[in-house]
Amino acid sequence: MNLPTALDRLPHLLNADLHCHSTVSDGTLAPEALAARAKANGVELWALTDHDEIGGQRRARDAALREGLAYLTGCEISISFAGETVHIIGLGFDADDAALAAGLARTRGGREARAREMAAGLAQVGIPGAFEGALPFVGNPELISRTHFARFLVERGVCADTNEVFRRFLTEGKPGYVPHRWAALGDAVRWITAAGGVAVIAHPARYKFTPTEEYALFTEFKAHGGRGVEVITGSHSATEAVKYAAMALEFDLLASRGSDFHSPDESRIDLGTLPDLPGTLTPVWQALPERVQWPA
């Protein structure tokens, strides 16, 4: 099956949204609600990319196809690189791949112990019961994340919004922050590519790297078989998009586009409402025509 004719000629203008989160990780909408919202917002190609988890893929794909929306499988893997947490997006993999599922299960493994340590840190600054308080916000018991703690602290009235919670409590050096060792870069890239997918560096402007560390990330990512970078994302300013468009060309990487939508109440950028990809770049979906699942 081909892209619609106009988009065949101008593939960078496809309204693709290849990054968002459901209740299966730290989003507040179910996969079905996200599919409906994507469709209503004019998305033409969609991927659900829950953190370290592909348990929502079947629901997302079925809902997308019911909505008449083309679908790519997706996930967002947490890795540790040069002392920072980096996110690697996987797109178009086989969602039944056993090695990918096992790698993701290992990556999720430390989250509960980490969450209990986070709660202990918060208790020390006068916020008791945060583990139990965060639980009602958690949709997947294997995926308790900082976002769920943030929602609890907003509900408790400690902070006005989740951004304030992250700034005051959940980022490095703050009382609820617990450093964590995630997957290795090479492992994450290999799990995705061995399952037939394409690995993409998520929101590169978000990492606090020196230019040398960033160069190392891009170089090692490519050496492991990584092929793409998010250029247009809800996390990038216009200036950052220009910078990473240049990086995509310099490193010969495919370009991706995704809102990183989590919630109607929290996300600045809604599904399908991002700027277009620059026409000088090769969209990641052009490399995945056989992996796109089309509605009947």
Binding site for Mn ion (CB under 5 A): 26, 76, 87, 202, 260
Tell me the CA distances in angstroms from 278 to 6, 201, 225, 230, 231, one per residue in order: 16, 17, 24, 12, 9
The C-alpha atoms of residue 159 and residue 190 are separated, in whole angstroms, by: 40
187 near ligand AMP, rule: CB under 6 A: no
145 near ligand AMP, rule: CB under 6 A: yes
12 near ligand AMP, rule: CB under 6 A: no
Of 71, 69, 6, 64, the closest CA to residue 42 belongs to: 69
107 near ligand AMP, rule: CB under 6 A: no
Return the DSSP state at 45.
Answer: E
Residue 71 Cβ vs ligand AMP, minimum distance, rounded to whole Å:
22
Tell me the CA distances in angstroms from 247 to 85, 205, 214, 235, 240, one per residue in order: 20, 11, 10, 16, 10
215-234: contacts with ligand AMP (CB under 6 A): none
Residue 7 Cβ vs Mn ion, minimum distance, rounded to whole Å:
25
Residue 131 Cβ vs ligand AMP, minimum distance, rounded to whole Å:
13
Residue carrying the six token digits 């560390």: 213
The residue within the footprint of ligand AMP, chosen from 22, 140, 147, 233 (CB under 6 A), is 147
The C-alpha atoms of residue 115 and residue 133 are separated, in whole angstroms, by: 11
The residue within the footprint of ligand AMP, chosen from 19, 37, 108, 146 (CB under 6 A), is 146
Q: Which residues bind ligand AMP (CB under 6 A)?
A: 26, 51, 78, 145-147, 162-163, 166, 262
